[in-house]
């Protein structure tokens, strides 16, 4: 695709470089794929191993790909059809975004025990969940990415880019912070998708040990109730830090005035000005979080930065390129799904992606004249996916039309907006 673009003198859009963590000379996610598969089973059921032999990744993937699911509406009620009798266990392939992982060491095999560093013997070790909330386009994803040290959440200059709760893990010898980067809080919910996203924001805040409320320093101050309007009142008062982001864009005198206003008129524990873009003030934010997290061992291995599977981030990269390349309503009407992900030892990995839109006119815009727009999109996405996975891939993208998918609760749950995503 890159060659075709060059032959037709079509400029390639700039790509965002993604850094990956390496462990034992393997790409970051490759070494954790089997662990994610097993943990997904442990979360969703009272599964117990009947054999000492670990579950093989390839067998697990083939089992998932052998099933086909479809949601339909009948007499106003949604139900799920499956093609095989064993698909009733399909919930075991889903990873909950709200249930905290089981720390039962007995469920781990020897390899995982060797890789784990839970800090169980350290009485000063702290671990817990942090919800990052706020209005759209205030810099929540940039803040989360900077704190984790790796780009997990996609970032664009358009509001409401983040749709899912992105789970990012920031670990050190004495701590583990698990950050929930949430969608921007919106008051007016135009689609069922908006309502489900706000439910996910509320769920993240309820399940957290402390909350970061991110606000834009360039905008007029707002009370916390106004910032979180659309999420609803939280039952319990959690430790709350107000993060005044984008301080690099205003004068120091203005920052002092806004800090004073927020301390006087909002019920927060502390106000810290930061520049998430340049990483200024993040040490103060981390210090505050660590003072609020409860003591205890880590929830996750110390060497991973997310529990989300590879295919989740592949879809997010494609969606980021859609936001960068297209305008107006088209990016918001798109849903990106990884239909197939096949690792091939003697060839490029094969990734099949579908982009779902609501109207045929949107499909035409995405594809473009003679397919050139889609070719550009696929090239930009492939380059970033290869940079993220540290391997070459063959990327195939297809555009499909599903009318009003943003209003279809069954489809939305299938796409992961109900608080669960596919483990593989």
User: Quick check: helix, strand or coil at residue 361?
Assistant: helix
Q: What is the mean pLDDT of the chain?
A: 76
* Residues linked to residue 355 through DSSP beta bridges, in sequence order: 336, 399
Domains in the chain and their CATH numbers? Answer: 2-107+305-422 (3.30.300.20), 119-292 (3.40.50.300)
* CA distance linking residue 19 with residue 15, whole number of Å: 13
Secondary structure, 3-state, 270-339 = EEEECECCCCECHHHHHHHHHHHCCECCCCCCCCCCCCCCHHHHHHHHHHHHHHHHCCCCHHHHCEEEEE
Which run of H or of E encompasses 193? helix 192-206
Residue-level pLDDT at 101: 53
* CA distance linking residue 62 with residue 65, whole number of Å: 5
pLDDT band at 120 (very low <50, low <70, confident <90, very high): low
Q: N- to C-terminal Cα distance for the chain?
A: 27
Task: Give the predicted TM-score (pTM) of the model.
Answer: 0.71
Beta-carbon contacts of 106 under 8 Å, excluding residues fewer than 6 positions away, are none
Asked if 374 and 400 touch (Cβ cutoff 8 Å), the reply is: no
**135 pLDDT exceeds 60?**
yes
**354 pLDDT exceeds 80?**
yes
pLDDT band at 223 (very low <50, low <70, confident <90, very high): confident
DSSP 132: E
Q: What token pair was written down for 402?
A: 């599903």
Output the CA–CA distances (angstroms, integers) from residue 339 to 61, 218, 317, 350, 399, in the order listed.
12, 41, 15, 11, 12
Provide long-range contacts, Cβ within 8 A and 24+ apart, for 258-267.
258/217, 258/221, 261/221, 262/215, 262/221, 265/221, 265/223, 266/223, 266/224, 266/242, 267/224, 267/237, 267/240
Mean pLDDT over 11-20 rounds to 42
* CA distance linking residue 252 with residue 248, whole number of Å: 9
**356 pLDDT exceeds 80?**
yes
Mean pLDDT over 207-228 rounds to 89
Q: Considering the chain, what percentage of its residues have pLDDT values greater than 70?
A: 68
Output the CA–CA distances (angstroms, integers) from residue 33 to 18, 29, 61, 307, 372, in the order listed.
19, 6, 10, 10, 35
Residue-level pLDDT at 190: 79
* CA distance linking residue 401 with residue 407, whole number of Å: 14
pLDDT digits (tens, 9 = 90+) for 27-51: 333 334 444 444 433 333 333 333 3
**218 pLDDT exceeds 90?**
yes
Mean pLDDT over 165-175 rounds to 89
């Amino acid at each position: 695709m890159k060659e075709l673009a060059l032959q037709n003198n079509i400029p390639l859009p700039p790509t965002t470089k993604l850094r990956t963590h390496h462990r034992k000379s393997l790409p970051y996610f490759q070494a954790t794929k089997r662990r994610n598969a097993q943990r997904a089973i442990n979360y969703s059921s009272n599964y117990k191993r009947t054999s000492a032999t670990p579950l093989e990744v390839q067998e697990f993937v083939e089992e998932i790909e052998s099933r086909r699911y479809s949601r339909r509406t009948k007499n106003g009620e949604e139900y799920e059809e499956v093609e095989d009798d064993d698909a009733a266990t399909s919930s075991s392939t889903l990873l909950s975004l709200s249930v905290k992982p089981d720390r039962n060491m007995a469920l781990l095999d020897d390899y995982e025990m060797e890789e784990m560093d839970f800090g169980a013997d350290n009485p000063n070790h702290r671990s817990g969940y942090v919800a990052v909330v706020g209005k759209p386009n205030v810099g929540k994803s940039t803040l989360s990415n900077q704190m984790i040290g790796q780009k997990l959440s996609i970032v664009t200059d358009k509001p409401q880019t983040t749709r899912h709760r992105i789970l990012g893990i920031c670990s050190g010898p004495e701590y583990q912070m698990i950050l929930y980067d949430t969608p921007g809080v919106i008051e007016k919910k135009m689609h069922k998708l908006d309502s489900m996203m706000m439910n996910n924001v509320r769920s993240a805040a309820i399940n957290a040990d402390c909350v970061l409320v991110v606000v834009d320093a360039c905008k007029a101050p707002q009370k916390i109730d106004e910032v979180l309007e659309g999420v609803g009142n939280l039952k319990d008062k959690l430790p709350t830090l107000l993060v005044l982001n984008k301080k690099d864009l205003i004068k120091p005198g203005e920052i002092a005035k806004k800090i004073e206003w927020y301390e006087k008129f909002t019920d927060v524990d502390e106000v810290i000005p930061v520049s998430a873009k340049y990483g200024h003030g993040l040490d103060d934010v981390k210090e505050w979080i660590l003072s609020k997290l409860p003591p205890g061992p880590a929830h996750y291995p110390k060497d991973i930065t997310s529990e989300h599977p590879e295919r989740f981030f592949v879809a997010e990269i494609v969606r980021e390129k859609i936001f960068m390349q297209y305008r107006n309503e088209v990016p918001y009407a798109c849903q990106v799904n990884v239909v197939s992900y096949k690792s091939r030892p003697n060839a490029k990995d094969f990734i099949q992606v579908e982009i779902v839109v609501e109207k045929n006119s949107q499909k035409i815009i995405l594809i473009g004249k003679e397919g050139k727009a889609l070719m550009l999109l696929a090239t930009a996405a492939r380059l970033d996916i290869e940079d993220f996975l540290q391997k070459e891939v063959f990327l195939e993208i297809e555009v499909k039309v599903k009318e009003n998918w943003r209003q279809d609760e069954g489809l939305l749950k299938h796409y992961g907006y109900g608080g669960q995503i596919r483990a593989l």
